[in-house]
């Protein structure tokens, strides 16, 4: 693979440290430098499973929706520059799609940059695809800027206000939205730079957010991810094996008039930057935290008993006659059983942006949920949570966005082509 015979990669350095054993790890700075010099000319090892994993760009649905959670991510929204319209947007989507296809295959992006540099940044030259995905969406204002208001789907109607909202409009919405995820931080950043460079003459960055998850292989066995509150997060997600999974998550063909057929196979993404008030949360005893959530912290099992995947028994009471899962527990209020079957596919990243002005951690969740219709997915559940969720006092919704995400591009197509060229 190009670039593997040059500077020592992180994989080789870690492999050398493991081979050296504990004695080699206590040598300090001088010993580390000596170790580097002694191993830099050894033959490179093969890519690990993390680096070699590749997600396909072309398909019925865009990547990054049902793809397993990745370790590193970037969310970025753009606004079209003044004067840019449908023609310019189509050219941008063509460039972005071509770049995404190459990046996801682990190939350089040389020659395509719209900023005139005409070269790859080299940030990820020694890495494999690392499960990279690049996903594109359109905000409501995109249709105004491109003269396509008549083809804006009803699912992009504005989200209603919620009492927990403290939204920063500068970090909300946008004409275009890009989600980048990878299992290597440099691979993800490489894709971010490529997307930014390709947009240079057509769109400017409105906001950007950076996130992370646990690295694949970091746990003894595969498990549902934990959030920054230490809670297992995502247990109740719809599963691809569910008979109604596609119905819940993806827009079906022919569901609306032909005006919106460009969205068939696509989805709607609701994006929320949710700050967690960790200092307050961590003062609670674990038993109190579990009652707030409605699940055990250790393994995610419902307080009504069983394992993580056991269905919640919402009517089960303890010896004192009180419900084992409190009536205001987050898991109870957000459950499909309490929301007329409403469900969404949650696929978040955690974030940490240092310390806020009040001296507390500016950290939390980059909440991303996918659904065929946000008015039947996110909105009813959030309304219910807004009325009495025990977790709400520990959360602040600080930014919000809603985007229509077209279906995947077939070979030879670019994302959004059915909208922009019809």
Angstrom distance (rounded) from CA 53 to CA 46: 13
- Please give the C-alpha separations between residue 401 and each of 294, 336, 371, 392, 421, in angstroms, as whole numbers: 28, 23, 14, 19, 25
CA 116 to chain centroid = 30
DSSP H or E segment with residue 89: helix 86-104
pLDDT band, very low/low/confident/very high, at 338 (cuts 50, 70, 90): confident
pLDDT band, very low/low/confident/very high, at 370 (cuts 50, 70, 90): very high
What mean pLDDT is predicted for residues 346-363? 97
Name the token pair of 165: 């909202």
Angstrom distance (rounded) from CA 27 to CA 32: 7
The residue range of the domain holding 14 is 1-46
pLDDT of 39 > 50? The answer is: no
pLDDT band, very low/low/confident/very high, at 11 (cuts 50, 70, 90): very low
Question: Is 97:216 a contact under the CB 8 Å cutoff?
Answer: no
Catalytic member of 233, 246, 315, 327: 233
Look at the chain and report how many structural domains it folds into. 1
Instruction: Say if 16 falls within a structural domain.
Output: yes
Instruction: Say if 3 falls within a structural domain.
Output: yes
pLDDT of 257 > 70? The answer is: no
- Is 233 one of the annotated active-site residues of the chain? yes
> Percent of the chain at pLDDT above 70?
86
What mean pLDDT is predicted for residues 126-135? 96
Summarize pLDDT for 263-305 with one digit per residue, the tens: 999 999 999 999 999 999 999 999 999 999 999 999 999 999 9
pLDDT of 343 > 60? The answer is: yes
Instruction: Say if 136 falls within a structural domain.
Output: no
Exposed / middle / buried, residue 308 (Cβ in 10 Å: 0-12, 13-18, 19+): middle
Summarize pLDDT for 157-207 with one digit per residue, the tens: 999 999 989 999 999 999 999 999 999 999 999 999 999 999 999 999 999
pLDDT band, very low/low/confident/very high, at 62 (cuts 50, 70, 90): very high
Instruction: Say if 249 falls within a structural domain.
Output: no
pLDDT of 26 > 80? The answer is: no
Instruction: Say if 354 falls within a structural domain.
Output: no
What mean pLDDT is predicted for residues 202-216? 97
pLDDT band, very low/low/confident/very high, at 422 (cuts 50, 70, 90): confident
pLDDT of 44 > 60? The answer is: no
Exposed / middle / buried, residue 262 (Cβ in 10 Å: 0-12, 13-18, 19+): buried
Higher pLDDT among residues 153 and 125, named by residue:
153
pTM for the predicted model, two decimal places: 0.87
Question: In this structure, are strands 133-138 and 176-182 parallel, antiparallel, or unpaired?
Answer: antiparallel
């Amino acid at each position: 693979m190009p670039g593997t015979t040059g500077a020592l990669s992180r994989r080789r350095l870690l492999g050398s440290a493991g081979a050296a054993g504990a004695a080699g790890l206590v040598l300090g700075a001088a010993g580390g430098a000596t170790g580097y010099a002694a191993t830099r000319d050894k033959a490179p090892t093969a890519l690990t499973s993390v680096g070699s994993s590749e997600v396909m760009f072309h398909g019925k649905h865009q990547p990054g929706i049902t793809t397993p959670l990745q370790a590193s991510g970037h969310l970025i929204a753009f606004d079209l520059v003044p004067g840019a319209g449908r023609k310019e947007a189509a050219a941008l989507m063509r460039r972005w799609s071509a770049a995404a296809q190459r990046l996801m295959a682990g190939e350089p992006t040389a020659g395509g940059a719209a900023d005139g540099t005409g070269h790859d940044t080299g940030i990820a030259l020694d890495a494999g695809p690392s499960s990279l995905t690049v996903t594109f969406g359109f905000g409501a204002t995109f249709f105004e800027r491109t003269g396509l208001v008549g083809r804006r789907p009803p699912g992009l109607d504005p989200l209603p206000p919620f009492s927990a909202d403290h939204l920063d409009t500068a970090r909300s919405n946008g004409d275009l939205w890009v989600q980048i995820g990878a299992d290597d931080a440099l691979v993800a950043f490489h894709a971010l730079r490529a997307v930014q460079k390709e947009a240079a003459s057509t769109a400017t960055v409105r906001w950007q957010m950076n996130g992370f998850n646990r690295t694949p292989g970091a746990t003894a066995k595969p498990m549902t991810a934990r959030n920054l509150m230490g809670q297992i997060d995502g247990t109740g997600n719809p599963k691809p094996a569910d008979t109604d999974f596609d119905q819940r998550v993806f827009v079906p063909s022919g569901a609306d008039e032909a005006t919106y057929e460009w969205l068939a196979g696509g989805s709607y993404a609701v994006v929320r930057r949710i700050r967690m008030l960790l200092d307050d949360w961590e003062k609670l005893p674990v038993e109190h935290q579990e009652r707030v959530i409605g699940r055990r912290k250790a393994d995610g099992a419902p307080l009504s008993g069983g394992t993580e995947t056991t269905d919640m028994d919402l009517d089960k009471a303890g010896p004192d006659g009180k419900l084992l899962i409190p009536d205001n527990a987050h898991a109870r209020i957000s459950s499909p059983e309490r929301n007329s079957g409403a469900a969404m596919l949650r696929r978040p990243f955690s974030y940490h942006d240092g310390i806020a002005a009040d001296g507390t951690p500016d950290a939390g969740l980059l909440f991303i949920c996918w659904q065929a219709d946000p008015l039947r997915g996110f909105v009813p559940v959030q309304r219910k949570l807004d009325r009495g969720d025990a977790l709400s006092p520990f959360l602040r919704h600080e930014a919000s966005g809603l985007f229509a995400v077209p279906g995947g591009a077939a070979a030879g197509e670019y994302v959004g082509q059915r909208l922009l060229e019809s």
